[in-house]
Amino acid sequence: AQKVTQAQTEISVVEKEDVTLDCVYETRDTTYYLFWYKQPPSGELVFLIRRNSFDEQNEISGRYSWNFQKSTSSFNFTITASQVVDSAVYFCALRESARQLTFGSGTQLTVLP
Amino acid sequence: GAGVSQSPRYKVAKRGQDVALRCDPISGHVSLFWYQQALGQGPEFLTYFQNEAQLDKSGLPSDRFFAERPEGSVSTLKIQRTQQEDSAVYLCASSSTGTGRNEQFFGPGTRLTVL
């Protein structure tokens, strides 16, 4: 069965520090998709990125970057030069052949001024 | 354009009452999902619709939970005889196609508190 593990429950950093959020997944499928979502205090899940299992290229979008490694079943998320507005809960999610998402338990990121 | 909307945003129910939660997906989106998010946890899948067809309801926790999407647009999640363990945020998401490739767009959720 599919599973997503986010071992870091809470992380606290000072503004402008870099921070990496870890995500490890388990799946038996060869075709799958990985996602990261942000959930600010307002509660709405905001889509950040989607990767498919055949594309291991790392991706950078502004201050955000993602490192996908199939060899270690990891899909880690790095925020460079963090800002207070980055404070939120971040979820990693997996989709296999079924269409629904399987989420990790989330990482609460607090960026202090 | 408008995103996914849900109503009510907050609902307080006495144990044993029935509740109905509404989801308005993004216009034209084929797929609609319901998730349940307990405090401090990630969302967990409840059920999935493709147009008006409910293709997967494997995540519904009991037969007290019922969902419908009769015209392939608005969806309602109904919980009968609510219990305290039903207290959670109920999230609705929609996706533009019926494939697994596209991202799901989430609504703000309905926070249900059962007293």
Token pair recorded at residue A113: 């001024």
The pLDDT of residue B112: 98
Residues making up chain B, counted from first to last:
115
How confident is residue B27, by pLDDT bands cut at 50, 70 and 90? very high
For residue A77, give the amino acid letter.
Answer: F
CB-CB under 8 Å, A93 with B42:
yes
What are phi and psi for residue B58, nearest 5 degrees?
A: -65, -20
Write out chain B residues lying below 8 Å of A102, CB-based: 45
Q: Are A109 and A19 in contact (CB under 8 A)?
A: yes
**Smallest CA–CA separation between A104 and chain B, in Å?**
6
Residue B3 in this model has a pLDDT that exceeds 70: yes
Q: What is the distance of C-alpha B54 from the center of its chain?
A: 12
3-state secondary structure of B86: helix
Interface of B with A (CB under 8 A): 31, 33, 35, 40-45, 48, 55-56, 59, 89, 91, 93, 95, 98-101, 103-109, 111
Rounded to an integer, the average pLDDT of A40-56 is: 89
Token pair recorded at residue A78: 């790095």
The pLDDT of residue A96: 87
Q: Are B7 and B76 in contact (CB under 8 A)?
A: no
Sign of CA dihedral B25, B29, B33, B37: negative
Beta bridge partners of B105: B94
Cβ neighbours of residue A19 under 8 Å, at least 6 residues apart?
A11, A13, A78, A79, A82, A109, A111
The pLDDT of residue B101: 64
**Smallest CA–CA separation between A64 and chain B, in Å?**
18
How confident is residue B24, by pLDDT bands cut at 50, 70 and 90? very high
Per-residue pLDDT of A2-33, as tens digits, reads: 899 999 999 999 999 999 999 999 999 888 99
Instruction: Kindly compute the dihedral angle of the four CA atoms of residues B47, A27, A104, A42, in this order, to the nearest 10 degrees.
Output: -50
Token pair recorded at residue A53: 């299992």
Place of tokens 């207070």: A84
What are phi and psi for residue B46, nearest 5 degrees?
A: -110, -60
CB-CB under 8 Å, A35 with B103:
yes
CB-CB under 8 Å, B100 with A99:
yes
The pLDDT of residue B102: 75
Per-residue pLDDT of B53-110, as tens digits, reads: 999 999 999 999 999 999 999 999 999 999 999 999 999 999 987 665 678 899 999 9
